[in-house]
Structure 1
Amino acid sequence: MTEDSMTGDSTTRDSTTRDSTTGDTLAEDFDVGADWHVAAPYPFLARLREQAPVFKSEHLGAYVLTRHADVRAAYGDPRRFSSKGSLTISRSLTRETREKLGEHGSFLSSFVANVDPPDHTRLRRSVSRAFTPRAVSAMEQEFRRLNEELLDRLSPKGHADFVGEIGHEPSIKLTARFIGVPEADEAFVQARVKDWFQLFLSPQPPARQLELADGFLTYLDYVDRLVAARAKDSRDDFTSLMTSLIGEELTHREVVELISTILLGGNDTVPNQLGNTVLRLLREGAWPVPPELVANASEECMRIDGASLGSFRYAAEDVALHGVTIPRGALVLLSTDSAAHDGTVFPGPDRFVIDRPNAAEHLVFGYGIHFCVGAALGRLQLRTALEVLGRRLPGLRLAPGHDVSYRRSIVGRGLTSLMVEW
């Protein structure tokens, strides 16, 4: 894979053609620099599922699995589809950026989702200590309170950018308190997490990569100092719990990467899913959601508008599938976005069905040994936010005259803004 093959510069490769009858754009390959790639990839993915379920993407430099059964099976087969190094996105960075990052160009090399057993087993066991049912239940009450306090301030206003003013703050605060980030540092962490995401998971031109690398290194230094502080003064937070395991179960670097990545989820992935979900419910005329349907509605929204688009793996051996041989060492994208729209599993896959009986069979949280350790907390946050928002803002609606746009990303779907009123 070349250094610039994931920069998203759509001028370097024509990845689309136009239907001569309708004029519609028809994608021939993934294109992380194009608006449709995140916002509306489903006609393209449907063609792949039917015609090329194992698709070799020149743009991604990877083979792509698109059918639900194949994606699920690959998640469950770490022997053939290895996670080791799968999140190390340094292949998208220029040589100058990698030199600036130094050892951190391989960031996430020891994160739990980026390794295979036995390291994975050890890391997951350590992290799971903080996500007991009792701990998750306690966080529900705190998250509910944070949403109520936010709406106490905002509801008299009558309008807001849902992304910038409503969707992110409660999750950011909950995650900060869980990790042990002081309230005064929340804004700093949020800004640096954006650098983290953009540098490693979103296509960027060379000059912008260098700017983001500065912010990312500052962020790592902050987390490193937080770990060092908890080693001297332990508190009732995740950082202290993980720091207490250094030298016995975990290394210092593993703890820094665990904390850094959980902060990404709370500052980015969970709020993005809430934004996608609210947009879907408003467009479908399903707002507010009846309390008895909130849990299933949230699963259906994750299925149809997932904030996570998939995961990368490496083929640990030659893999023959649907007449295609994926060579050993090849990068493979497990497209959970495509799997969630597989009509053989979800009838009428592009149709929103609020009480769809098997909506939770989506693979947004992965599957098998790499099923997201924070899935229960993520689901809880989504349900709780929908309950509070639906009760407090039953008249929520999209503000007229505003376009909906998504940020460009390799593996994530998130709105840049969402103007609403009530």
Structure 2
Amino acid sequence: MDFDVSSDWHVAAPYGFLRTLRHEHPVFHSEHLGAYVLSRYSDVRGAYADPRRFSSKGSLTISRSLTEETRARLGEHGSFLSSFVANVDPPDHTRLRRSVSRAFTPRAVANLERQFRELNERLLDRVEPQGKAEFVAELGHEPSVKLTARFIGVPEEDEAFVQARVKDWFQLFLSPQPPERQLELADSFLTYLAYVDRLVAARRDDPRDDFVTLMTGSELSHREVVELISTILLGGNDTVPNQLGNSVLRLLREGVWPVPGDRLAGAVEECMRIDGASLGSFRYATEDIELHGVTIPRGSLVLLSTDSAAHDETVFPEPERFVIDRPNADAHLVFGYGIHFCVGAALGRLQLRTALEVLGDRLPGLRLVEQPVVYRTSLVGRALAALPVEWA
């Protein structure tokens, strides 16, 4: 019994395995992951809340599967994300988060909602007459990609370039790849970093009303800004659209499409709980940690399984059942917890609610095209490879 990130069940249907871990091995050493796994809700949340013992420093730079040749190709960038806000501990974390939070004021988020609604409406003006679409490629990504580009300050003509490079970023660091493919992805990743580096440098010389300019005027170093921009682009180009696809699939399967407006917020939380786009986060043990009779040695890698926590029956009764008005659905840990609670959580929730509202209004007859559902292979993400849909 172990994780197998190359198997279909790891992303599509891991819940029986995770249930066994919670009941029988709440602190499980995975040979496959090279990490200890915390699977119970209380332990996962407790680890998030204890950055002194469960350190974030270096936790996102999980690239042990890379070959020596790939590491050599990456050079200093093999430690990419070393100064990203979710990858450090206080006091660096405090300084970085303070700078980032300046961009997420209520007024700024409200303005982004208006823009995002317009982007969804414009896309549907174009696609609706077709009567069918592949949701992931044709409906799920474009509005989020464009909103993120506008927010960051990426020129419209560069959106496709960034989206392609972000997919390569994801594959290189968070999905097992054969050696030759690793080198291709490494070259793409270096091209991406060089692009972001040039964008940041350009804003220092020519300030504009965008996030890059705001960050270049902050207390952050050039490298910190480059890594921050690179990773926020990952969220907008990948994570949020992935969650939208997961949510649409769930809602259609459950027969609750379109979602009534007064139930939309609850539906979004329950979709994130039951089909989270993020499966967990890694941490490092800073000391020997005793938990449930198991010693996690100092320096060990630890996976905080938010996917398992979200299906913990002691917190969420009948966790495999979709309950659109589940009273505590928002207690899921998809956005993390404690000091590392995702700074973009409000924006992510806003995008999901807005997209589902517009899609429901414009495509009330949306339905699945029957064929096997396939997920992308991933270490810590849940994303559909494709989702064919049609409507009357």
Distance across 2 between alignment mates of 1:229 and 1:393: 41
Q: Is the 8 A contact 1:140 1:384 kept in 2?
A: yes
Contact 1:89-1:106 within 8 A present in 2 as well: no
| 2:326 maps to 1:356 | yes
Structure 1 unaligned blocks of 5 or more: 1-27
2:236 maps to a residue whose letter is G
Structure 1 residue 205 displacement after superposition: 1.0
Which residue matches 2:129? 156
Partner of residue 40, structure 1:
13
Contact 1:405 1:417 in 2 (8 A): yes
How far off its partner does 1:90 sit?
Answer: 2.6
* Alignment partner of 1:416 is 2:390: no
Q: 2:100 aligns with which of 123, 127, 133?
A: 127
| SS in structure 2 at match of 1:143 | helix
Structure 2: segments with no counterpart, 5+ residues: none
- Using the alignment, how far apart are the partners of 1:46 and 1:132 within structure 2? 39
Q: Which residue of 2 aligns with 1:201?
A: 174
- Measure the CA separation in 1 of the matches of 2:385 and 2:178: 19
Amino acid at match of 1:390: G
Q: CA deviation at 1:92?
A: 2.1
Match of 1:284 in 2: 254
The letter of the residue matching 1:412 is G
Aligned pair partner of 1:325 in 295, 298, 313: 295
Q: Distance in 1 between matches of 2:181 and 2:79?
A: 19
Q: CA deviation at 1:416?
A: 0.3
Q: What one-letter code is carried by the residue in structure 1 that aligns with 2:10?
A: H
Instruction: Give the whole-Å Cα distance in 2 for the aligned partners of 1:202 and 1:286.
Output: 33
Q: String of CA shifts for 1:157-177, please: whole Å, max 9, x gaps.
A: 000000000000000000000
Shift of 1:89: 1.8
Q: Deviations over 1:280-309 (max 9, x none)?
A: 000011111011000000000000000000
1:292 is paired with a residue whose SS is helix
Separation of aligned partners in 2, 1:358 and 1:78: 25
Residue 83 (structure 2) pairs with residue 110 (structure 1): yes
One-letter amino acid of the structure 2 residue matched with residue 142 of structure 1: Q
* Corresponding residue SS for 1:89: coil
Q: Paired residues, what number?
A: 391
- Hey, what's the Cα distance between the residues in 1 that align with 2:107 and 2:286? 38
Mapped to 1, the partners of 2:69 and 2:116 lie a distance apart of 42
Kindly provide the CA deviation profile for residues 192-226 of structure 1, in whole angstroms up to 9, marking residues without a partner as x: 00011100111111111000001000000000000
User: Secondary structure in 2 aligned to 1:90?
Assistant: coil
TM-score norm. by structure 1 comes to: 0.92
* TM-align CA RMSD: 0.5
Post-superposition offset of 1:312:
0.1
1:61 is the counterpart of 2:34: yes
Partner residue in 1 for 2:349: 379
Aligned partner of 2:226 in structure 1 is 256
Contact map agreement 1:173 1:186 (CA 8 A) in 2: yes
Equivalent residue in structure 2 for 1:343, among 313, 321, 328: 313
- 1:239 pairs with one of 172, 188, 212: 212
In structure 2, the residue matched to 1:308 is 278
Farther off after superposition, 107-116 or 86-95 = 86-95
Of 368, 374, 380, which aligns to 1:398?
Answer: 368
Partner Cα separation in structure 1 for residue 62 and residue 26 of structure 2? 24
Q: In structure 2, how many angstroms separate the alpha carbons of the residues matched to 1:93 and 1:122? A: 31
**Divergent runs of 4+, >2 A:** none
Amino acid at match of 1:290: P
- Specify the alignment match of 1:221 in structure 2: 194
- Matched residue, 2:237: 267
How high is the TM-score relative to the length of structure 2?
0.99
The C-alpha deviation readout for 1:373-416, integer Å capped at 9, x for no partner, is: 0000000000000100000000000012x211000101100000
* CA distance in structure 1 between the aligned counterparts of 2:111 and 2:65, rounded to whole angstroms: 40
Q: Which amino acid aligns with 2:382?
A: R
CA separation in 2, counterparts of 1:159 and 1:211? 34
Structure 1 SS opposite 2:64: helix
How far apart are the structure 2 equivalents of 1:309 and 1:162? Answer: 22
